[in-house]
Structure 1
């Protein structure tokens, strides 16, 4: 695992591949796999799985699902939804890409994962690290007891590492799939200019989005609720200080804590298992299928 940590650091620093994610995660992998942290005879109480240690306390933000909503708050404060408001049909592209989630879910079930574990693995196809961590902390946290009396596996570390790894490799994974499924003419298509979006529409969007989420998918409120709140801070024009804090200092701090703790949770005895290998394979397949689904969806929309 020390080699894996160095691998993450190398690619994050040398090739600038998602350095804000790979560098903290890679450093966390090194911290979590220092041998003396895992030897109880030393009685150092430093390991991430030792109750009361600093790492264990910080790791509760992952296990309890505190960090992902805060990340979404920052993302909302950074995002301009003008394109989506101007052309709501763009949501269909996102919906088409979700085929990667469902096919990966079926693949995980076929490989023998329990339904909650398969659901957590499938979300890798959403190409969103915080969401993958949030879902896995709820479904595959090593604590939930299934109807048959078995305890689900703790897959938070492998799922998070897989999700962030493939996010960093998007420039490598997606171009071949896109070129395979499109013609040169299609790749040269230009989108129509967007209509002007009023300030009222920009303010109304997060409010309506929050209400729709509350009634359609209330379980998504911890993430989408914070996303819409962050966007409202940005678009209202009267909470610039809060928006700036959420989109800069806050999200940076949470990203550091998230990366370090997720990386440190990947101790070799937990991470280097056949399940992890399957998760990485399913994750790669999920990204490819999701990309293909989005491209095919765009082709259909442009018929």
Structure 2
């Protein structure tokens, strides 16, 4: 069993690199070895490696910058996954891909289910949705794992941003009217390992069992606002007593990309199909 992992230096990719190796011969590539911004380079790499499974956490994730670089974001997040899937079909591989809560507009008052109609508000969300569609139409066994508010101890994420601001400022303002479920990258990787193990045990590649393919939501349980998340980061860093944390509305913190007010995802499907419970 040969497993190809892209984006090995990203938040989820780094955790996967440490976890999924026991399922087969793990081959990892970074941007230098497989550049998703260069579509013509994708198929030759896949045909050369001939993996049985491709895991693709690599993505263009700079949400605000995507508003300025829509073509690059579309290439990496939409065109590249489609080409990965087409190449996977040629070598008989299955594909695990990651998407985002930002495919929804956040107008719902309850957590989103997989079948809820998407309506992304920003370029990043639109490109990730286009990637989902391109992958799903390629005719390969696939899993699209939507997650959101991912954090880890490395890379660019909200947890590290707040910790850095706490070192530089006495007052931090954070929006309190966007709701989501902070999700540890390692939890996503651990659950991906469990899912892949089940798929392999059930001969997913051979049977192409449609019940094991499709879109699945995977986030940690609970909910909070960015302000609530920041408060917990400061509390756990033992710096809350030194920082004045101020809650503000999104309207007071304009950004190039519009964010959905509700990013909560419903995990019932992944629990039912794979028996997984998130922390």
Question: TM-score if structure 2 supplies the norm length?
Answer: 0.24
Structure showing greater Rg: 1
Higher helix share: 1
Higher strand share: 2
User: Higher relative contact order at CA 8 Å, sep ≥6: structure 1 or structure 2?
Assistant: 1
Question: TM-score if structure 1 supplies the norm length?
Answer: 0.23
